[in-house]
Amino acid sequence: MATVYSSKNFDDGSFRAHGNFDAHIEDDVYICSVRGPLNLEGIIALGKARRACFAQVKYSETIPTIVVLSNSMLMSPEAFSVYAENLKRDLESKKSTLVMAYVVPNDIEGRTIMMPLFSKIFAENNITWQIFEDVEEAKVWIQGIRFP
């Protein structure tokens, strides 16, 4: 059974993290389920969990990733900036990039505001990504990218 890294395991700041997540590696795919909104402390905890997950697997150049979002994508500009910085640092330290399936329901709070911001940082970090509404579709796409 995969080790699950949860927000409650990485929330060690002086202010409580808002939102929650669970992350794990399944068949060498990094899978993270996030229920937002996340505040700055939640984003910091998420970064710590991502690094712990990435340390489990010896990736080559590409880390296959599925992120499943629910409730809300909203976060403060400061939290988003830290998310972008952490993502860039983690990828540079692994000398890797991501192939990312983002599972985002049409009715999630903040979708129209946040998706252009995510799109920009993914482009800046050479991340190949696609939006899905269904987890199974995302898994099929990830497998197609990994094993064309």
CATH number at residue 46: 3.30.750.24
User: In 2-134, where does DSSP find H-type helix?
Assistant: 7-10, 40-56, 77-94, 111-124
What pLDDT does residue 46 have?
85
pLDDT above 80 for 37: yes
Going by C-alpha positions, the residue among 37, 42, 122 that lies closest to residue 23 is: 42
What pLDDT does residue 110 have?
96
19 CB-contact burial (10 Å; exposed 0-12 / middle 13-18 / buried 19+): buried
CA–CA dist 79, 100 (Å, integer):
20
Instruction: Determine which helix (DSSP H) or strand (DSSP E) holds 146, and give its type and residue range.
Output: helix 135-146
Q: What is the pLDDT of residues 75-96, one digit of tens each?
A: 999 999 999 998 898 888 777 7
Do residues 95 and 60 touch, judged by C-beta distance below 8 A? no
How many domains in the chain?
1
What pLDDT does residue 18 have?
81
What pLDDT does residue 132 have?
96
Does the model's pTM come out above 0.85? yes
Is the torsion defined by CA of 33, 21, 125, 27 positive or negative? negative
Query: Mean per-residue pLDDT for 98-114?
Result: 93
Residue 39 structural domain? 5-146
